[in-house]
Structure 1
Amino acid sequence: MNATPDVQLPAVSVIMPVLNEERHLRAAVSAILEQEYDGEMEVVVALGPSTDRTDEIAAELVAETAGNRAKVQTVPNPTGRTPAALNAAIKASSHPIVVRVDGHGILSQGYIATAVRLLEETGAQNVGGIMHAEGENDWEHAVAAAMTSKIGVGNAAFHTGGAAQQAETVYLGVFRRAALEQQGGYNEEFIRAQDWELNFRIREAGGLIWFSPELKVQYRPRPSVKALAKQYKDYGRWRHVVARYHEGSINLRYLAPPTAVCAIAAGVVVGALVTPWGFVVPAGYLAAITAGSLPAGKGLPLKARLQIPVALATMHMSWGWGFLTSPRALAKKVIASRRPAVLSEA
């Protein structure tokens, strides 16, 4: 969407929290700067305490864009926590539309222009779309296939797609600054699931959150089994916090991984101590994810297809274990920090 001579597009601030993102940071920022958007734009990168070349690359980007229409600037985030980085970047930015992007996310062409149009058309306070996982090697291709399949993530629209509609939350998001400032930004106690919590407050205040498949962000999967396991353990851990924070937010999709963990563990114990028939449960699970990996891996190299069941099992088991072991004390701490939704004075 390009501006016509009589249309003034709103200025946009793109905020990006980064930590150890040397592999993808330059590509992520380049995808922002290459957006075909005729409104004013700025990019604010919040730098966590990285141990790789992230800070060096960020400094290069600041220097390279110093004379450009869209400039890159950085702000420190000494805690390394995502919500603190987002709040710091919001504070350092100034424009009425705020686009959240991660350091390993690549915006599709037209993303910002389309999001601005959707904000106008729907009246939403936040719009977002599809987390489009794409890999760069066989393992990452396998993870991407798992993350975009229903056997991997259920019917989550921002993973698998779907019709444009009102949503509880969306991936990343393009916000009206007024909504962010009204709600006081992100709750920094939510190390994970901070998007859901903020969108919950926006919805409580009467705001609309809108999902559209027109919006797509290319996402790079975790590069190893260990990294994927940690990611999904954290997802499960914090989803249980959300369930305790907001009763009634849980559904069968979220209960499937912890149920599978319990069933498989019970099957192994029964199989080892009572009867070999107990092993039917873990065997059935392995058969199911193997069968489910076949359509998910269509078109991929053989080595990638063979790794899809490993990715699926890692995601399911780690998410389920994280959910089951999520400490009640963590939820109590987060609930104590609860920010009530701020209603408009109008």
Structure 2
Amino acid sequence: MELVLKSDAVANVDALARRIVVAVPTLNESSTIAACLTSLMKGNENMQFLVLDGGSDDGTREIVALLAAKHQNLSLHHNSRRNQAAAINQASQIADGKRDILIRCDAHAIYPEGYALSLGQKLIEMGADSVVVPMDAVHTEDAGCFERANAMIVDTPLGSGGSAHRGGRKSGFVDHGHHAAFWRTRFVKLGGYDEAMLANQDAEYDTRLRADGGKIWLDAGIRLDYFVRKTPRSLWTQYWRYGRGRADHIRKHLVTPRIRQLIPVLHVLALMYSGAFLTMTKWATAYPVVYGATVLGAGVWAALKNRTRCGLMAPLVLVIMHTGWGLGFIREMIVPMRRR
């Protein structure tokens, strides 16, 4: 993607760049952080880049330090709270005073040239309070079959549930999105992210932003490549946290979950029912059979579409996503985490 500016704004590219601060939270991201920062910083010497590290012990800090030695507009900071919410809040406080546009980026992503400038421009053009973008799932070059299958299936309706910000192709005003650009003063005024939340801090913030009259624009023309999780364990942890975060969000704001958000919960409850009544009625096997056939079919589809046997790992990816999210949600509803 190339940055496209109106003719009367071309001369003001540098001025726009000087208004932008890009915040990247990290915690053990050595495999992707160099590519992430390199893609973000290309041609953006007038922006400020802040890496907020939660105590990485895999070499992430050393990689960032080496890059910071070459780029005066990049700096590394310690995030004592470790989580992403605290990192973005910290960035909103320590950024240069004249930086009024705050952009949150992810160490698991690769960004197209002109990405941050495009977001800043769109924030101004649309009169929005936040601009978000779709993510397109990708895998690393040395990926194993599990990671490749994850990238194949996560953006499908069976994987992400059809979220507009996961592979979506339509622009418009939305309730929520990822990788946002904010007006820094508005973000700070609303209290930033809720640092007590395990996950879903961005969705929770969007709820407060909309309640305050804010508008969120999703621009399908500005996209990024997002590296999926590499292992079953890391994927399970990710979706377990997602489920818990969504439950915490719902409980905090008393909002009604969408149908697609309830499907993983109903999935887990159906499996529990099947297990409890397996020896009592033949109907107890109905859901596991239908579900098993569905995810196996998805694996065959992924393998044929992508012409690789790795697609046959997609059923495992889906089972982990659905069950991890559903169990995380139920766990949080029954035993809420202690708010700090």
How much does 1:133 deviate?
Answer: 1.1
After the TM superposition, which residues 157-196 of structure 1 pair with which residues of structure 2 at under 5 Å, given as runs? 157-196=164-203
Choose from 291, 295, 312 the match for 1:285. 291
Match of 2:253 in 1: 246
Residue 20 in structure 1 maps to residue 28 in structure 2: yes
Q: How many residues align?
A: 327
Helix, strand or coil: the match of 2:124?
Answer: helix
Residue 47 in structure 1 maps to residue 57 in structure 2: no
Off by >6 Å, runs of 4+ in structure 1: none
Match of 1:117 in 2: 121
TM-score by length of 2: 0.90
Distance across 1 between alignment mates of 2:332 and 2:198? 13
Match of 1:131 in 2: 135
Helix, strand or coil: the match of 1:156?
Answer: coil
Match of 1:78 in 2: 80
CA contact (8 A) 2:92 2:188 kept: no
Distance across 2 between alignment mates of 1:283 and 1:214? 40
Deviation per residue, 1:234-292 (Å, 9 max, x gap): 11111111111122331211110111111122223322x22444223211101012223
Match of 1:341 in 2: none
Task: Point out where structure 2 has 5 or more consecutive residues left out of the alignment.
Answer: none
Distance across 2 between alignment mates of 1:53 and 1:327? 37
Distance across 2 between alignment mates of 1:117 and 1:128? 13
Distance across 2 between alignment mates of 1:263 and 1:329? 21
Choose from 312, 322, 326 the match for 1:306. 312
Match of 2:104 in 1: 100
CA contact (8 A) 1:149 1:296 kept: no
Residue 209 in structure 1 maps to residue 209 in structure 2: no
Helix, strand or coil: the match of 2:25?
Answer: strand
CA contact (8 A) 1:242 1:249 kept: no
CA contact (8 A) 1:75 1:92 kept: no
TM-score by length of 1: 0.88
How much does 1:205 deviate?
Answer: 1.4
How much does 1:77 deviate?
Answer: 0.7
Match of 1:340 in 2: none
CA contact (8 A) 1:13 1:98 kept: yes
Helix, strand or coil: the match of 1:218?
Answer: strand
CA contact (8 A) 2:198 2:244 kept: no
Letter in 1 for 2:37: V
Helix, strand or coil: the match of 2:220?
Answer: strand
Choose from 239, 257, 261 the match for 2:264. 257
Residues 6, 183 of structure 1: alpha-carbon distance in 2 compared, 3 angstrom cutoff: closer
Distance across 2 between alignment mates of 1:64 and 1:257? 46
Distance across 2 between alignment mates of 1:211 and 1:182? 22
Letter in 2 for 1:320: G
CA contact (8 A) 1:49 1:79 kept: no
Letter in 2 for 1:250: P
CA RMSD of aligned residues (A): 2.0
Distance across 2 between alignment mates of 1:234 and 1:103? 18
Distance across 2 between alignment mates of 1:6 and 1:274? 72
Choose from 232, 235, 239 the match for 1:225. 232
CA contact (8 A) 2:201 2:245 kept: no
After the TM superposition, which residues 262-281 of structure 1 pair with which residues of structure 2 at under 5 Å, given as runs? 262-271=269-278, 273-281=279-287
Match of 2:40 in 1: 32
CA contact (8 A) 1:114 1:214 kept: no
Distance across 2 between alignment mates of 1:19 and 1:274? 48
Choose from 59, 64, 70 the match for 1:64. 70
Distance across 2 between alignment mates of 1:170 and 1:269? 38
Q: Which 10-residue stretch deviates more, 1-10 or 15-24?
A: 1-10
Match of 2:330 in 1: 324
Residues 42, 5 of structure 1: alpha-carbon distance in 2 compared, 3 angstrom cutoff: same
Identity of aligned residues (%): 28
Task: Point out where structure 1 has 5 or more consecutive residues left out of the alignment.
Answer: 338-346
Letter in 2 for 1:30: T
